[in-house]
Structure 1
């Protein structure tokens, strides 16, 4: 079963059950309320009789003299209820709303009727003494009675008991109850139809974007990464569609990177291998002499291939979490002084001057010293090999970002620099600004990618920007202790 049908059935079934339950509960409540009203109305109709009993008892304090026998008590009750709808016997003649009702039967027939168990809808009347003991009338243990106290001189001398009715069989109240029941079921039917329509529209409103997302996900699984959803919603489904579009864009970008990576790595591996095989084949065929110069040239290609494979292995280890770090407190001032001394001679050989501007004294970073030296070595050697610069500046300072203190290293040169469009791609695998650059000068194209992994391994950040000296600036931020 589709999710649209499931959601529709669940919502409609729940709402229908609630409506049906409320209708039954309201109907029962109205019925009980009308019955209670009828019972209270009957008690109210007998209040004059209670007053009469009180006055007579005050004159003659004996219930036997006041009410006499059961027949006399019954007649007094019927006389009080003569013009009401509460008589326990049928009458003849036009009743309320034109109903035909029978006249009172003769006394001997009426007495025989009193000996038979009365119907449940007929009320029973009794007179009780001050201890609620029966004096006269019908006071049955299996019925509930409403008792009205008879008070004489602020003292209760007895009670007039009227049994509670459990149902209605005639009168305006029954008509009212039936009318209200009809109205209630009509309202319930209208509510069910409205619920049916609202549930259908709501389920479609909720399921329609889910279907679009499901279809889009299916297209993604088939490799169609150009899929894009256009859901103009402000709820969680709208956020999900935005996340879906972000995922599709990321997958499309990663697919492009993967294809470029495969093309570049195949080119990088094929080129030195082809040169190496060509030189070896030439020497085997006697075209070139196997002297030290030719063997050294072949060895250079083998070394270049080895460096490329080593860099690929290192990157793969970093991606899989295999690049291990031995973290320990490292004094960055000492490390930077070591870097300056280490590269002083190498840079002078290339007519490059290095300037260390360290305003961050006594700064300690939790780091792997060997990896940091590898990081700075890759960046400085890139500047030496192809920046065509005469000056390299290494600046260290403290900065604070959102309450966290960082050591910021800025390595910049005054070389040819990099175009703005290339800056965001410098840390991608095998990315070269100049695709025609000599491989011997350009290296494997993986150095900056390795640098990025090292910085991330230290929970830091690395970025490339235009240098204030005119060339390229590499900015590194490492959290301090």
Structure 2
């Protein structure tokens, strides 16, 4: 507000600045204004006369004192000269303001407080900011207005900056604004209490629940779930938390089954082998080639199990090596159909084969893909009870640019609740893990690793033939490199 008052005062003195420029234009110098304080004060009074910055030329108290200074022309009856001590001071002894000097406006009329300092000082300066006329103390800061004549700087008009405001509408305005700010602060405080606290609760409550849930997960409590009753980002976060909890619970269950099944698979052949050897040592069974062959079969079964476990462990840590190259899938699958047909025929299973007439290429490992189809065939032989037929078919999916293979049988099939777990380590539908069925439950797990290594996917469904259907998707080469050649 003080800056506003200073700027307004400079604007009010614009006529004075124009008058000073006209004076300079007549003489082309400030010589006529040099030490001419009377003319400067007159111009100053004329500019400030109709503004709130005007100071009266002759205050009433000064007029009253002038009357006492006048001498009567003739003695009148009863006239008594006043005492010299009771007379007011002469005009020459009065301060500049009392003499009508507006060059320095004074802050107080109290003479008892010592020399009075002017509240506002006005001065005319030349182009070098040297004083021409007016009051220009060095201990004050001034606002300068440039005086320009025909594009040339001829001087400055200086007005000292006020340290406080005038007694008037400015103070009233500031006081009014202070009241408004106080009312606004009270209203904002009410808004904070009424709106912000419930809003903060709205945001903090789901964060606290999420923090509590994460703390429960860290302790191994995977059964904890968050209720989702919102439609914002916190609801999505709660759903993601629930999905994470489900995934961790499934992973923990798979880990426990892995440990239990591994220990069971390792313990069974070792126990059988130990029993047979102890029986031969104790003489219960004769030591002959038949008993040695039986023990040898258990050792082979244990060796195959260890090799499968090693293969799965290597796949988990990225130890299974792949030597990939472009493979003509049409020719490759034709070859595999012949090999699998002979292999399944030995187990009294007939193989039917259907494929596409065109040639498609994938980028894969020939040996690992052969291992994939061998494990699929072994799975049908060992677990497809009552099966008589195995069907291998494939086709090209143009939309996803991948080859879709289906390996299915007409056996008893698998219950729906087991389908999602068939590719877990050591998982078998036969809970008793009867050795007569053969296998260790690792074949499909290895198949899943091989397919994933080829950037494909595999899942199990119920077959239209009545048994189990395994669907495999293998991506072809890059679309820019894909070549479809008519045979």
TM-score band by shorter chain is: 0.7 to 0.9
Q: 1:476 aligns with which of 454, 461, 472?
A: 472
Aligned to 1:243: 240
Q: 2:159 aligns with which of 163, 178, 188?
A: 163
Aligned to 1:17: none
CA distance in 1, matches of 2:455, 2:363: 10
State the 1:80 CA deviation: 7.7
Q: CA separation of 1:90/1:43 partners in 2, compared to 1, >3 Å: closer, same or farther?
A: farther
> Which deviates more, 424-433 or 367-376?
424-433
Aligned to 1:268: 265
User: SS of the residue aligned with 1:124?
Assistant: strand
Q: 1:109 aligns with which of 84, 87, 93?
A: 93
State the 1:210 CA deviation: 3.9
CA deviation string 1:345-401 (max 9, x = no partner): 333333322122121532222111111111101111221233122221111211124
Q: CA separation of 1:382/1:162 partners in 2, compared to 1, >3 Å: closer, same or farther?
A: closer
Unaligned runs of 5+ in 1: 1-29, 94-103, 152-157
Aligned to 2:326: 329
CA distance in 1, matches of 2:223, 2:382: 40
> Which deviates more, 225-234 or 329-338?
225-234
Q: Contact 2:314–2:320 (CA<8 Å) still a contact in 1?
A: yes
Q: CA separation of 1:314/1:86 partners in 2, compared to 1, >3 Å: closer, same or farther?
A: same
Aligned to 2:77: none
Q: 2:350 aligns with which of 349, 353, 360?
A: 353
CA distance in 1, matches of 2:431, 2:36: 126
Aligned to 1:179: 175
Q: Contact 1:430–1:446 (CA<8 Å) still a contact in 2?
A: yes
> Which deviates more, 327-336 or 368-377?
327-336
Q: Does 1:379 align with 2:368?
A: no
State the 1:309 CA deviation: 1.2
State the 1:461 CA deviation: 1.0
CA distance in 2, matches of 1:173, 1:332: 95
Aligned to 1:424: 420
CA distance in 1, matches of 2:333, 2:91: 127
Q: 2:390 aligns with which of 389, 392, 404?
A: 392
Q: CA separation of 1:112/1:220 partners in 2, compared to 1, >3 Å: closer, same or farther?
A: closer
User: SS of the residue aligned with 1:435?
Assistant: coil
CA distance in 1, matches of 2:172, 2:293: 114
Q: Contact 2:165–2:171 (CA<8 Å) still a contact in 1?
A: no
Q: 1:87 aligns with which of 55, 76, 85?
A: 55
Q: Contact 2:121–2:136 (CA<8 Å) still a contact in 1?
A: no
Q: Contact 1:73–1:137 (CA<8 Å) still a contact in 2?
A: yes
State the 1:110 CA deviation: 3.1
State the 1:437 CA deviation: 5.6
CA distance in 1, matches of 2:405, 2:60: 112
Q: Contact 2:344–2:377 (CA<8 Å) still a contact in 1?
A: no
Q: Which has the greater radius of gyration?
A: 2
User: SS of the residue aligned with 1:324?
Assistant: coil
Q: How does 1:2-81 map to 2 (within 5 A)?
A: 30-41=1-12, 70-71=37-38, 74=41, 78=45
| Higher helix residue share | 1
Q: CA separation of 1:54/1:426 partners in 2, compared to 1, >3 Å: closer, same or farther?
A: closer
Q: CA separation of 1:409/1:161 partners in 2, compared to 1, >3 Å: closer, same or farther?
A: closer
Aligned to 2:110: none
Q: Contact 1:120–1:165 (CA<8 Å) still a contact in 2?
A: no
Q: Contact 1:39–1:164 (CA<8 Å) still a contact in 2?
A: no
Q: 1:435 aligns with which of 417, 431, 435?
A: 431
How large is the RMSD of aligned CA atoms in angstroms? 4.4
| TM-score normalised per structure 2 | 0.72
Q: Contact 2:418–2:429 (CA<8 Å) still a contact in 1?
A: yes
